Amino acid sequence: MNIDSIRLVSKSHLVLVKKGKGMEIIFESSDWHCGPDGLSEEAKEFITRGKDATATIVGCGDLFNLLPLGREKFEGSSAVKELIQALDGYLFHYVCGNHDPYRWVVELFRPFPNVKVKRRLEREVMGRTYLFTHGHQWAIDWALLRHIAPQFVEFMVDFFPKLWYRLCRRVGWLPSEAKPKAATGGKEHQKYDDLTGLIWRNGIRFAQHHSLCVVLGHTHTSAELKRFVDENTGTVSVMVDGGDLRDGTYVVVDRDAHLEHLNWLCG
């Protein structure tokens, strides 16, 4: 294997980074589900690894439980302060999810110019386009709404967030919470279910239609789907679900998108 550089991304974890000159590396994670009392140790470690690798760092939704707790509980909170301290001015792309509505997150992080709040993020690495999105917009399978569901969901989350959250809970469009915090020793608690399959299926369809790779969260279930392209290209990722950072899983994009794990939790 041709390794261009080796980077130490934490005191206890060595990652081989296949980075060519001028090539961007992206670290992505989702579903931190932090309350206002503080930032999780998993999130702090993830940010440290991203900074040490000089990577583009992306948080892909549901980082803070603004729903159902309310935005007011996070204004001036320890969780927000600890995120800003961990970043220490480093650029951070905050892609919003269903627990952290876009308009609320924009207001919450308006004083911090290094936090770029987005509904979704597209980046090109080695000639391939990667779409970073939380994935909750693909949780609807109503035949009537199938083609407009993403826009419908974003409208509801933006303008009627509390009503939408209650509706999603009632009809089962939100994954269950198996734990308040990870440190589970590397065991993923969330099981594959119909909601997970629906989101993955819709994400894969989107990726194939637009000739890109979708990187998402929301399901709390990690996965990679790769497909063979041709003899020169080999296999490439079509959809990668980073799972739940509280279980230690996250995504790295270098020459392709792939899962990594905060395996210091297992020690």
Q: Could you report the per-residue pLDDT of 3-13, keeping only the tens digit for each?
A: 343 333 433 33
Span 149-161, average pLDDT: 73
C-alpha dist (Å) from residue 223 to 97, 103, 149, 244, 265:
19, 30, 23, 11, 20
Nearest to 118 by CA among 78, 59, 175: 59
SS3 7: strand
Q: Could you tell me the pTM of the whole model?
A: 0.81
pLDDT 10s digits, 196-253? 999 999 999 999 999 999 999 999 999 999 999 888 888 999 999 999 998 899 999 9
With vertex at residue 116, the alpha carbon angle to CA 111 and CA 118, rounded to the nearest 5 degrees, is 125
Instruction: Output the pLDDT for position 67.
Output: 82
Count Cβ atoms within 10 A of the Cβ of residue 253 and give its class: 0-12 exposed, 13-18 middle, 19 or more buried. buried
User: Mind listing the pLDDT tens digit for each residue in 101-154?
Assistant: 899 999 999 999 999 999 999 999 999 999 999 998 888 755 445 455 556 766
Mean pLDDT of the region 16-33: 77
Cα of 135 vs its chain's centroid, Å: 9
- Angle (deg, nearest 10), helices 41-52 and 78-87: 20
Q: Rounded to an integer, what distance in angstroms lies between the CA atom of residue 209 and that of residue 191?
A: 28
What does DSSP assign to residue 219?
Answer: S
Confidence of residue 68 (pLDDT cuts 50, 70, 90): confident
- For residue 244, the one-letter residue type is D
Beta strands 121-125 and 128-132 are antiparallel
Q: How does pLDDT run across 241-250, given as a tens digit for each residue?
A: 999 998 899 9
User: 24-266 domain in CATH 3.60.21.10?
Assistant: yes
C-alpha distance from residue 111 to each of 69, 85, 106 (Å):
21, 14, 9
